[in-house]
Amino acid sequence: AQSVSQHNHHVILSEAASLELGCNYSYGGTVNLFWYVQYPGQHLQLLLKYFSGDPLVKGIKGFEAEFIKSKFSFNLRKPSVQWSDTAEYFCAVNALTGGSYIPTFGRGTSLIVHP
């Protein structure tokens, strides 16, 4: 069965620090990749997605992620975080498994940004 690993469960940063959240998946076929974010008290919402093409994708609020197929990774980055980036971040993979597409989410990374 496919799985998604987010290596950092809790990250604490100061404003203006750089951010990189790791995401690795275990599936060798074609995948669609996503990062979702859940701000305190709000719904899960899409941050960015990768379906095909340029492996460096840009999302909302200055976030970007790079798909490295050889490493089965889709790490999320932001050069300079803000206090408003405090949230829970989820990596998700959608892959064809046994004839069906089963979305699989990572366990999430809680990011706290201190002002």
- List interacting residues with other proteins (CB under 8 A): 1, 32, 34, 36, 43-46, 49, 51, 90, 92, 94, 96, 100-108
Toward other proteins, which CB reaches closer, 32 or 86?
32
**In whole angstroms, how close is the CB of 3 to other proteins at the nearest point?**
11
The upper half-sphere exposure of residue 93, i.e. CA atoms within 13 Å in the direction of its Cβ, equals 27
Residue 109 · residue 89 · CB < 8 Å: yes
- 86 phi and psi angles, rounded to 5 deg: -60, 120
**In whole angstroms, how close is the CB of 83 to other proteins at the nearest point?**
24
Toward other proteins, which CB reaches closer, 43 or 115?
43
Toward other proteins, which CB reaches closer, 50 or 81?
50
**Which candidate, 96, 82, 104, places its Cα nearest to that of 36?**
104
Toward other proteins, which CB reaches closer, 69 or 114?
69
**In whole angstroms, how close is the CB of 90 to other proteins at the nearest point?**
7
**In whole angstroms, how close is the CB of 37 to other proteins at the nearest point?**
11
Which one-letter DSSP state was computed for residue 33?
A: E
Say which amino acid occupies 104: T
The upper half-sphere exposure of residue 26, i.e. CA atoms within 13 Å in the direction of its Cβ, equals 7
